[in-house]
Amino acid sequence: MTAAANGTSFDHFYSYLTGHLGGGSGVIDRLLQHIGYSIEALAIGALIAVPLGLWSGHTGRGATVLSLLSNASRALPTLGLLTIFAILIGVGLNAAIIPLVFIAIPSILVNSYVAIAGVDRSLVDAAKGMGLTPWQVVRSVELPVGLPIIVLGFRTAAIQVVSTATIAAYVGLGGLGRFIIDGYASRNYAEIGAGAVTVALFAIAVEALFLLGQRLLVSPGVRRAGI
């Protein structure tokens, strides 16, 4: 039995969308929540992952642990992680934000490590030869040269967080996933469609924003040399 046979197809999602734009728990409200959770999770994740990745890449320590982490994070089902936290902490904001942070960390951490560890040794040696302190080497050589890969790590993390925040509606988080979960519970296909289309467009916008950011952030010299 398809949705269309029910007479409740997605055809009406557009009218649902325009009918539920404003107001509390309207589409705009849910979109802002979704953006808020994503930024929060990314920011906390970055505070943990970036320093750790930079340190690891600079000193070359912990490479094995990082490669294990990146493999394990791919296999770990996010819905399982979300439900474990929901059962342990109780349904709510914390139960959803903590797993979102966990999901943001691996790509940022691994990419920060790869970015710094992959910087041409001769560049680092030249910088040291010029008398730069270790901190200056990180800040003015390794960081700008590795930046494209670090931004890529953020992009991957952002996409994963946006996607998982949608799923987190199941354990009580707000955001755009609510329309899909609630719509499915009441078999309201217009609502499901409105949520799915909005969150898909949002994810595409995030991707586009990062592609643009990559162009603006990366130093022109690095971009041209392609190091």
Partner 1 sequence: MRFPGHAAAQTFHFQKVGNWQWVLNHIGYFWSLSRTHLYLALVSVVLGLALSLPIGVLAARRPRAYPAVLAVSTFLYSLPSLAVFALLLDITGLTDNTVIVALAVYAGTILVRSVTDGLRSVPEEVRLSATAMGYRPWRRLVGVELPTALPVIVAGLRVATVASISLVTVAALIGNGGLGQLFIAGENSDFITEVLCGVVLVVFWAIVCDGAILAGGWALTPWTRKQR
Interface positions with partner 1 (CB under 8 A):
1-4, 9-10, 71-72, 74-81, 83-84, 86-92, 159, 162-163, 166-167, 170-171, 177, 180-181, 183-184, 189, 192-193, 195-197, 199-200, 203-204, 206-207
DSSP secondary structure of 136-160: HHIIIIIHHHHHHHHHHHHHHHHHH
| Cα gap 62→68, rounded to integer Å | 10
**Could you give the CA distance from residue 2 to residue 183 in angstroms, rounded to a whole number?**
16
Residue 72 Cβ vs partner 1, minimum distance, rounded to whole Å: 8
As measured in angstroms, the least distance from the Cβ of 211 to partner 1 is 8
**Residue 25 or 71 with smaller CB distance to partner 1:** 71
Q: How far is the CB of 220 from partner 1 (least distance, A)?
A: 21
| Nearest CB to partner 1, comparing residues 77 and 220 | 77
CA–CA separation, 132 and 140 (whole Å): 9
Least distance (Å) from partner 1 to the CB of residue 92? 8
Q: Which lies closer to partner 1 via its Cβ, residue 142 or residue 183?
A: 183
Of 102, 110, 131, whose CA–CA distance to 57 is shortest? 110
- Give me the sign of the Cα torsion angle 7, 13, 19, 23: positive
Query: Cα(197)–Cα(192) distance, rounded to whole angstroms?
Result: 9
Query: Would you say the C-alpha torsion 70, 74, 80, 82 has a positive or negative sign?
Result: positive
Between 36 and 221, whose beta carbon lies closer to partner 1? 36
Shortest Å, Cβ 107 to partner 1: 13
User: Quick one: 19 or 80, whose CB is closer to partner 1?
Assistant: 80
The helix (H) or strand (E) run that includes residue 114 is: helix 93-117
